[in-house]
Chains A and B, each alone.
Chain A
Amino acid sequence: MALDREGVEHIAILARIGLTEEEVEMFREQLSNILEQFETLKEVDTAGVAATLHAGQLHTVLREDVVEDSLEQEQVLSNAPRREGPLFRVKAVLEE
Chain B
Amino acid sequence: MAGFDYLSVAQARERLDRRDLSSVELTQACLDRIGQVEDRVKSFVTVTADLALKQAQEADRIIGSGAAGPLTGIPTQIKDVMCTQGIRTTCSSRMLENFFPVYTATAVTKLLEQGAVILGKGNMDEFAMGSSTENSAFFPTHNPWNLDRVPGGSSGGATASVASGEALFSLGSDTGGSIRQPASFCGVVGLKPTYGLVSRFGLVAFASSLDQIGPVTRDVADCALVLNAIAGHDPRDATSLPLDKKDYTAVLGTGVAGLRLGVPEEYFVEGMEEGTRRAVETALEALQAMGAVISPVSLPTTKYALACYYIIAPSECSANLARYDGVKYGYSYQEAADMWQDMEKTRQHGFGQEVRRRIMLGTYALSTGYYDAYYVKAQQVRTLIQEDFARVFQDVDALVAPVSPTVAFPLGERTSDPVKMYLSDVCTLPPNIAGLPCMSVPCGFDQGLPVGMQLIGPHLSEETLLKVAHAYQQETSWHLATPQL
**Chain A interface residues (CB < 8 Å from chain B):** 3, 8, 11-12, 14-19, 27, 30-31, 33-35, 37-38, 40-41, 44, 46, 49-58, 61, 63, 71, 75-76, 78-82, 88, 90-93
| CB–CB B380/A50 < 8 A | yes
- Cβ-neighbour of B209 out of A8, A33, A56, A58 (below 8 A): A56
With A71-B103, A76-B102 as contacts: A53 and B209 at CB distance below 8 Å? yes
Of B59-67, B135-143, B221-229, B304-312, the segment with at least 4 beta carbons within 8 Å of chain A is: B304-312
A15 to B357, CA, bound (A): 11
Which chain B residues lie closer than 8 Å to A93 at the CB level? 339
Q: Chain A residues with Cβ under 8 A from B341's Cβ?
A: 18
Pair B348/A19 contact, Cβ less than 8 Å: yes
Contacts of A50 in B (CB 8 A): 380, 383
Closest Cβ–Cβ distance, residue B346 to chain A (whole Å): 9
Q: Which of A34, A37, A56, A61 contacts B435 (CB 8 A)?
A: A56
- A40 vs B306: C-alpha distance in the bound complex, in angstroms? 10
User: Given that A16-B344, A44-B381, A81-B330 are known contacts, is A55 also in contact with B386, CB under 8 Å in the complex?
Assistant: yes
Does B310 lie within 8 Å of A34, measured CB to CB? yes
A61 B238 Cβ-Cβ under 8 A: yes
A residues near B345, Cβ cutoff 8 Å = 18
- CB contacts (< 8 Å) of A38 on chain B: these are 307, 310-311, 374
| Cβ distance A69 to chain B, nearest Cβ, rounded Å | 11
CB contacts (< 8 Å) of A49 on chain B: these are 380, 383-384
Main secondary structure of the interface of A (DSSP, over half): loop
Q: Could you list 26 A-B pairs, sorted by A, with CB under 8 Å?
A: A11-B367, A12-B360, A15-B359, A16-B322, A16-B325, A17-B359, A27-B360, A33-B418, A34-B422, A37-B306, A40-B304, A41-B311, A44-B301, A50-B383, A51-B379, A52-B379, A52-B382, A53-B209, A54-B239, A55-B433, A55-B434, A55-B436, A61-B238, A79-B328, A81-B331, A90-B327
Alpha-carbon distance A80/B332, docked complex (angstroms)? 9
Q: Enumerate B366-420 residues with CB–CB distance to A below 8 Å.
A: 367, 374, 376-384, 386, 418-419
Tell me if A40 and B328 are in contact (CB < 8 A): no
Most A CB contacts (10 A, CB to CB) among B342, B380, B381 go to: B380
Q: Is the CB of B360 within 8 A of A51?
A: no
Known: A34-B418, A41-B311, A61-B239. 8 other contacts (CB 8 A): A11-B364, A31-B364, A35-B364, A37-B307, A37-B310, A38-B310, A44-B384, A93-B339
Q: Which residues from chain B contact A82 at a C-beta distance below 8 Å?
A: 332, 334
With the chains together, A51 CA to B239 CA distance in Å? 18
Considering the complex, which residues of chain B in the window 135-166 have a beta carbon less than 8 Å from any beta carbon of chain A? none
A51:B380 contact, CB within 8 angstroms: yes
The distance from the CB of A48 to the nearest CB of chain B, in whole angstroms, is: 9
Known: A15-B360, A58-B241. A81 touches B329 (CB 8 A): yes
Closest chain A residue to B337, Cβ basis: A91
Which A residue's beta carbon lies closest to that of B208?
A54
Q: In the complex, A38 Cα to B422 Cα: how many Å? A: 12
